[in-house]
Structure 1
Amino acid sequence: MSATPAGPAPRTEPGPLVRPYGDTTGDGMVQVSFTLPLPHDKRAEGAALQLAAKMGMSPALLVHAKAMGPDFTFFVVYGSVTHLVDLREVTVHEREFPLLTPAEVNQAVRTHLQRKLVVVGACIGTDAHTVGIDAILNIKGFAGEKGLEYYRELTVVNLGAQVLVPDLVAAAREVGADAVLVSQVVTQRDAHIHNTTTMSAAFREAFPAGEVPLLVVGGPRFEEGSAAALGVDRVFGRGTTPGEVASYLVHELVAPRTAPDPEGARR
């Protein structure tokens, strides 16, 4: 009698408390990188290890150190931490709308809006990094998905980089924008936060209540769930695809609502 080949081991779900994994399960090994305002010498390396120890890494191994000009040094430190992550305290922001195909997006706009949906996009302030806004708007797209320019029922106006907020407001008014998409990559001194709140305030001052275009911002350093604090309607983080943005626009601007409006119920 031949033995039955063993199948793959059943996958076990992690418990509520987990530790980082490096060489073996639960060893707590992590790798961190940082820069210190010190010239590269033995004292700087000692300072890097001291910082690692204060971060809870013990023992810590300095695996890389490189001078960044005469007054700064970049470090990579590898070591074990004792900290645990409690999965019960992790907050997850789930997508609240279904993902649609380009054909479904076009059909929804054509059926319910009965005109083209107008989208204006830009990088504002001093931000000259158009890779994010181009990934969403440009027909070449991102992650195997074509950008919003590919959608027949969407009119896309890409203003490019370093657009002043007053110019963005004026352009949105001129073309009758339904939605304004802003990409922010530069984050030094919280520039993305300042630019976004400035943009939001400008639109709400320039447009009557209820007529402000849908304000959407995206970038790698925005926190999910921060839209209300920034004064915008939606925040998208790293890895967002054009299909997600298009589906959201349909969800907010096109698809008929099935749930009752709590504000209307009180009127």
Structure 2
Amino acid sequence: MSLADVVRPYGDTTGDGRVQVSFTLPVPAVSAADRAVAEGAALQLAGKMGLSPAMVVHTKPVGPDFTFFIVYGRVSHLVDLSAVVVAPREFELLSPAEVNLRIRAALGRKLVVVGATVGTDAHTVGIDAILNVKGHAGEKGLEYYREIRVVNLGAQVPIGSLVERSAAERADAVLVSQVVTQRDAHLSNARELAAAFRAAPEFAAPRHWPLLVVGGPRFDPSAAEAASLGVDKIFGRGTTPGEVASYLAHALAPVPAPAAAGER
């Protein structure tokens, strides 16, 4: 570790350690007396979080029994950049033309992708950003790729219906986006998704169950998390259509290994 690797939060001036946090406490703040107690509770929590000094800069009642706070303060903690571990991407990023070529050469047909949000999740922004031709972040979605056939089922799709439709479409990959995460619904839904596909008679031998890919802002994209949920791949916040397309080509349309000398 060198001094160049050590940083502190920046607020008003470089290295002043100033941070801003927000949270909700189950305390009322309707009356002036209630508000004073609520803000005292917020400052107590901020102190236990290591903010010193701290000040409450925003207080807003959320109904009669809850209060939302924004607290500004200083922390003494240092960040060691040399200790940050970033998992390397296990596949190369390909252009749309390269993805199409890989799929055509490896499969000899279009790669079928079925996408949806499941359970009670009505948010389609994430799945549409990946699948729709308009795409996201300057990249066109999977509908733009000539060698990918996209079936977008939309929002609030029951997992059983997703399994049935994936079987009917002979899906190579199933993409599920989860934005609603209260009580870790994204995790329980992912586990239920994996279990449903594994148990489905439609995907019994000799057919294999499709590649299961989940994504959303609250997922941990690590391989360990994917294994614990029973899915093949997790994409987190900021994922672009090109990343997903490149992964699908990597996983489902690999480049054949060159023949060793004497095997030709």
Task: Quote how far apart the aligned CAs of 1:57 are.
Answer: 0.2
Residue pairs, 1:215-254, within 5 angstroms: 215-225=212-222, 226-254=225-253
**Does the Cα contact within 8 Å between 2:111 and 2:147 map onto a contact in 1?**
yes
Gapped runs of 5+ residues in structure 1? 1-12, 261-267
Measured in 2, the distance between the counterparts of 1:114 and 1:214 equals: 18
Pairwise CA distance, 1:258: 3.2
Local SS of the residue matching 1:201:
helix
Aligned to 1:65: 59
Equivalent residues, number? 248
Match of residue 190, structure 2, among 187, 193, 196: 196
1:119 equivalenced with 2:118 (yes/no): no
What residue in structure 2 maps to residue 208 of structure 1? 204
Deviation readout 1:158-206 (Å, 9 max, x if unpaired): 1111111111111111111000000000100010000000100111112
- Partner residue in 2 for 1:18: 7
> CA distance change for structure 1 residues 217 and 257 in 2, over 3 Å: closer, same or farther?
farther
Other-structure match for 1:4 = none
d(CA) in 2 for partners of 1:103, 1:125:
35
How does the TM-score come out when normalised to structure 2?
0.89
1:78 to 1:257, Cα distance in 2 relative to 1, 3 A: farther
C-alpha deviation, 1:85, in angstroms: 2.4
* Offset at residue 99 of structure 1 (A): 1.1
Instruction: Quote how far apart the aligned CAs of 1:246 are.
Output: 0.4
Look up the equivalent residue of 2:250 and give its one-letter code: H
Q: C-alpha offsets along residues 205-257 of structure 1, whole Å, 9 cap, x if unaligned?
A: 12236711010000000012111111111000011011110000000001225
Contact 1:121/1:158 (CA < 8 Å) preserved in 2?
Answer: yes
1:60-99 superposed matches below 5 A = 60-99=54-93
CA deviations on 1:27-80 (whole Å, 9 max, x unpaired) are 211100001111221111111111101110000011111111222111111111
Task: Tell me if structure 1 keeps the 8 A contact 2:25–2:67.
Answer: yes
Unaligned runs of 5+ in 2: 30-34, 260-264
The alpha carbon displacement at 1:14 in A equals 6.3
CA distance 1:257–1:34, shift in 2 (3 Å): farther
Alignment correspondent of 2:262: none
For the residue of structure 2 that corresponds to 1:50, the secondary structure is: helix
SS of 1:26's equivalent in the other structure is coil
Q: Secondary structure at the match of 1:191?
A: helix
Counterpart amino acid of 1:139? V
Structure 2 residue identity aligned to 1:208? A
* Among candidates 161, 168, 176, match of residue 170 of structure 2: 176
- Tell me how far 1:259 sits from its aligned partner: 9.2
- TM-score, length-scaled by structure 1: 0.88
Percent identity for Structure 1 against Structure 2: 68
| Structure 2 CA distance for partners of 1:27 and 1:202, relative to 1, 3 Å | same
Does the 8 A contact of 1:93 with 1:224 survive in 2? no
Cα distance in 1, alignment partners of residues 69 and 257 from structure 2: 54
| Structure 1 stretch displaced more, 207-216 or 240-249 | 207-216
Q: 1:29 aligns with which of 18, 32, 39?
A: 18
For 1:258 and 1:236, the matched residues in 2 are separated by 27
Deviation at 1:109, TM superposition (A): 1.2
8 Å contact from structure 1 (residues 216, 232) kept in 2: yes
Could you tell me how far apart the structure 2 residues matched to 1:144 and 1:158 are?
Answer: 20
Q: Secondary structure at the match of 1:119?
A: strand
CA shift for structure 1 position 26: 2.1
Tell me the amino acid that sits aligned with residue 197 of structure 1.
Answer: R
Q: Is the 8 A contact 2:102 2:255 kept in 1?
A: no
